Structure 1
Amino acid sequence: GDPRLALALAQRHGLPEIVGRLLAARGVAVDEAGAFLAPRLREALPDPSRLRDMDRAADRLARAVMSGERIAVFGDYDVDGATSAALLHRFFAAVGAPLLRIHVPDRLREGYGPNLPALLRLKADGARVVVTVDCGTLAFAPLAQARAAGLDIVVVDHHAAEPRLPEAAALVNPNRLDETAGFGELAAVGVAFLLVVAVNRALRRAGWYGPSRPEPDLLQWLDLVALGTVCDVVPLTGLNRALVAQGLKVLGRRGNPGIAALCDVAGLADAPGTYHLGFVLGPRVNAGGRVGESGLGARLLSTDDPAEAAALAGRLDAYNRERRALEQAALEAAIAQVERDGAEGSLLFACGEGWHPGVVGIVAGRLVQRYGLPACVVALGDGVGRG
């Protein structure tokens, strides 16, 4: 970094010179350093209405809450998806919405994203509105068919979009090609938090809250936002940094029974930091989607029953141990293949009968780390390869 910038940072903010050098190396300007070192959510949080379709989504969901329409949440099987689904579930429960349930697709049987059979099951069970979180932006056929069947779908996502958008009551995604608000580095749970802020505001304006129905404190759920944001490996700058900084404070209070139970099974006695989110708690939440039951993580994070939380955390911990064993076995076999066969040009390739499809992505990442080349890893089974 620029030595003059490093010195200016250290002098202006009363920092050791080494910290000034680190900030300069990260491209932090002198007038940005205060917010970088001590981020304040009040200053970083934007008006959610700046995002396209946010007002449309908030109005539809507020109307559903006030008219008693059942709302279902369709999630994804990773940590970002689980935390997003749990955040929405907790918010809707807190404001008195007649919730249906969270549906998380099975990684092997259903694959990623909304599928019509699952959406129609939610409708048959009474859902009128379905919120898809961390998925849905490219689900053209399922969403068109669900809309034709009478479902209103609100998409809350952050994945790259195409010029064409799916048919939906609203599609909130900072990475829409027509989006100008910025915030493209938010994880899905960050977008979901902005939606919660917007729906809460719409309900307040409509007079929904009162002595018998108090307005919830939205900051209590920043533990979920921090967990999902860190585990989705988005840049910890700007709004993400403020969300995680405040979320870590909430995590230290152990208010979420599911997160508290996860800390207990992991032997984590101290308040979690970002390392613990990414490498201790996150893998356990993820383990259900990788090798067990895909919905366990979202169930754990949305329950208020400490006994249920303890049982679910124990199952996820066991699945995580199984995942590690499956991953290690596949990795050792993949390394042996690569060492024997060499690279295919500039690509590493490994495949194996009976490898678990839920761990091949991790194995590919390990090969990239080890050899410094792109890797393709395929699990073979029943005449099908999954990679």
Structure 2
Amino acid sequence: MPGATRSIRRRRPESAPALVAAGIHPLLARVYGSRGVLLPEELQLSFRELLAPQTLKGASQAAVLVADALAAGQRILIIGDFDADGATSTALGITALRAFGATDVHYLVPNRFQYGYGLTPEIVALASGLQPDLIITVDNGISSIDGVAAARALGINTLVTDHHLAGAQLPAADVIVNPNQPGCGFESKAIAGVGVIFYVMLALRAELRERGWFAARGLQEPALVECLDLVALGTVADVVPLDRNNRILVAAGLQRIRSGRARPGINALLAIAGRDAATVVASDLGFAVGPRLNAAGRLEDMSIGIECLLATEATATGYADRLQQLNLDRRVIEQDMQQEALTLLATLPLHEDINTTPAGITLYESGWHQGVIGILASRIKDRLHRPTIVFADAEPGGNELKGSARSIRGIHIRDVLDAVATRSPGLISRFGGHAMAAGLSLPRAHYEAFAEAFVAEVAHHGRDLDLEVVIESDGELCAPDFGLELATTLRFAGPWGQHFPEPVFDGRFRIVQQRLVGARHLKLVLMPPDSDELIDAIAFNVDTGAWPNPAQEWLEAAYRLDVNEYRGRRSLQLVIEQLQPVA
């Protein structure tokens, strides 16, 4: 089955003479310029440049609410989400509140298989057994109309902290802190849930300082920078756009990790993933730590991940080992589901022409694991470059389906679901999310009608979109650029991530050697056309029907410069994103 058509498009080069004058490598200045950074001060990622907490609507009121709860000795319960953003948000809230002197603070994460997402009435009923005076949601709650109402009916105060898009109606919480709620002027709309609760804790510390809280109790005022490793992990793992404010948060967190000041749980997860904490970059958090943390919420209970983040040196390795095993189990389940998904996709007109592929993809198979459908949706979306929703049974033999949606740039998936719900009332039971990812539930009997409505709505939203996969390149490199020094400079010049992508280059190379390593990875030795320098390269998950090809002498590639470390030796390696044989 073919994948989506892929092409390489060079970014428009932006001249950034001010960066070059400030001593930035000319190539890096070009890269920054094409991402909208033209002045040296825009590269200042000092913590002092962070947006002020006072500009985040509700943060000051939230600080008063929580400070009053602390003063009254009330029981505080944090309700988190079951992904990495939710786990880091929960761990940050617990850590900060304990550092502020809270002695009665607890957390609860809904089991996704029993209760689903967010502060539902069922979760409130479960939480009521702990007799909380104040519930704080982290990374959820903006759509919890009924859940907040249930808490208020029981006399429980509620503080909603979230970053997901708000619907037409807001929950009647005591305070809402969400940059995406109406009337919030906070400039960073892309901040993750962990960033929101971090800001709330900054505001709370200021409120407690104003009240003389720390002095009266002989407490040293906590340094919240100690939580920035959590903020960096949650922000990167949630794949939110790295605007300048998020880059400041991530850069500060990475610096703490590299300097050996990360919490034991994060160090243990890096170690078990084979990553060196001293040289960690954002992609290590996104591709090594995040998936292991997420595995707990996908297969069992995210409290395992949260406890890992709260662990001491003595206990962190045990939790990391458990998360490692869950991640291995997740991979096996995912591989089986992918094979079943490919069988289903074979029923679509994909084997003849990718351009006949429907504008949107929906897949459902009884027996699929609902904790893994989000990953499967992402894999199919990447393969076909179409918004994709994968469904699983909410419970075995039940009548409700749960879906996980992933989208492509230019198609706002939550807006698509909102449009479907508006045009066909009652088709969807509930939904929520943001531009690139969303979740939903619907009756099994509505699946076929929903699939048809979804494809039609995606086609409407994306009628002017080119559904070809475009790899954006920062241009060609000259022979002197292929060196370890420049690769190292680029590696640490980020943090790179969503909407601030790592540099990708393109060019033509002579193939000197080629062989498969592992099952589907192509190891290459290449030579630029204007040089006799040999360069190592690797392309992951190639089409083994096409590669290796001993008859092929030249290839065109889109690639990243990378630093390969093996047995203490560091060398340049190209990581190939796209390769095409050429004559």
Q: TM-score range by the shorter chain?
A: over 0.9
Cα distance in 1 between the residues matched to 2:349 and 2:323: 36
Q: Per the alignment, in what secondary structure is the counterpart of residue 354 of structure 1?
A: coil
Cα distance in 2 between the residues matched to 1:306 and 1:336: 46
Q: Per the alignment, in what secondary structure is the counterpart of residue 274 of structure 2?
A: coil
Cα distance in 2 between the residues matched to 1:110 and 1:328: 26
Task: Please identify, of 312-321 and 344-353, the stretch whose mean Cα deviation from structure 2 is larger.
Answer: 344-353
> Is this contact kept in 1: 2:98–2:105, CA < 8 A?
no
> Is this contact kept in 2: 1:81–1:188, CA < 8 A?
yes
Higher helix share: 1
1:222 aligns with 2:231: no
Q: Please name the residue that 1:353 is paired with.
A: 366
> Is this contact kept in 1: 2:124–2:150, CA < 8 A?
no
- Write out aligned runs for 1:295-310 (5 A): 295-303=303-311, 305-310=312-317
1:103 aligns with 2:108: yes
- Mark the structure with the bigger radius of gyration: 2
Cα distance in 1 between the residues matched to 2:361 and 2:166: 29
1:244 aligns with 2:250: yes
Cα distance in 2 between the residues matched to 1:244 and 1:348: 34
> Is this contact kept in 1: 2:19–2:38, CA < 8 A?
no
* 1:302 partner letter: L
Number of corresponding residues: 381
Q: Please name the residue that 1:202 is paired with.
A: 207
Q: Against the structure 1 CA distance between its residues 61 and 383, is the aligned structure 2 distance closer, same or farther, given a 3 Å change threshold?
A: closer
In structure 1, which of residues 161, 166, 174 is the aligned counterpart of residue 171 of structure 2?
166
> Is this contact kept in 2: 1:162–1:177, CA < 8 A?
no
Q: Summarize deviations over 1:241-289 as a string: whole Å, max 9, x none.
A: 1111110111222441211221232233333211110000000110011
Quote how far apart the aligned CAs of 1:314 are.
Answer: 1.3
Unmatched 5+ stretches in structure 1: none
Q: Per the alignment, in what secondary structure is the counterpart of residue 353 of structure 1?
A: coil
> Is this contact kept in 2: 1:254–1:260, CA < 8 A?
no
Higher strand share: 2
Q: Against the structure 1 CA distance between its residues 347 and 164, is the aligned structure 2 distance closer, same or farther, given a 3 Å change threshold?
A: closer
Quote how far apart the aligned CAs of 1:355 are.
Answer: 1.5
Q: Against the structure 1 CA distance between its residues 318 and 180, is the aligned structure 2 distance closer, same or farther, given a 3 Å change threshold?
A: same
Provide TM-score, normalisation by structure 1.
0.93
Cα distance in 1 between the residues matched to 2:334 and 2:256: 33
Q: Summarize deviations over 1:69-117 as a string: whole Å, max 9, x none.
A: 1111000011111111100100111111123321111111110000223
Report sequence identity in percent: 36
1:28 aligns with 2:37: yes
Task: Please identify, of 288-297 and 71-80, the stretch whose mean Cα deviation from structure 2 is larger.
Answer: 288-297
CA RMSD of aligned residues (A): 1.9
1:339 aligns with 2:339: no
In structure 1, which of residues 13, 22, 34 is the aligned counterpart of residue 22 of structure 2?
13
Q: Please name the residue that 1:386 is paired with.
A: 402
Cα distance in 2 between the residues matched to 1:56 and 1:349: 42
* 1:139 partner letter: S
Unmatched 5+ stretches in structure 2: 1-10, 351-356, 404-583
Q: Please name the residue that 1:231 is paired with.
A: 237
1:365 aligns with 2:365: no
Quote how far apart the aligned CAs of 1:19 are.
Answer: 1.4
Cα distance in 2 between the residues matched to 1:104 and 1:112: 9
Cα distance in 2 between the residues matched to 1:74 and 1:7: 46
Cα distance in 2 between the residues matched to 1:315 and 1:289: 12
Q: Against the structure 1 CA distance between its residues 11 and 249, is the aligned structure 2 distance closer, same or farther, given a 3 Å change threshold?
A: closer
Cα distance in 1 between the residues matched to 2:362 and 2:166: 29
- Write out aligned runs for 1:61-72 (5 A): 61-72=66-77
Task: Please identify, of 48-57 and 323-332, the stretch whose mean Cα deviation from structure 2 is larger.
Answer: 48-57
Task: Please identify, of 260-269 and 90-99, the stretch whose mean Cα deviation from structure 2 is larger.
Answer: 260-269
Q: Please name the residue that 1:316 is paired with.
A: 323
Q: Per the alignment, in what secondary structure is the counterpart of residue 341 of structure 1?
A: coil
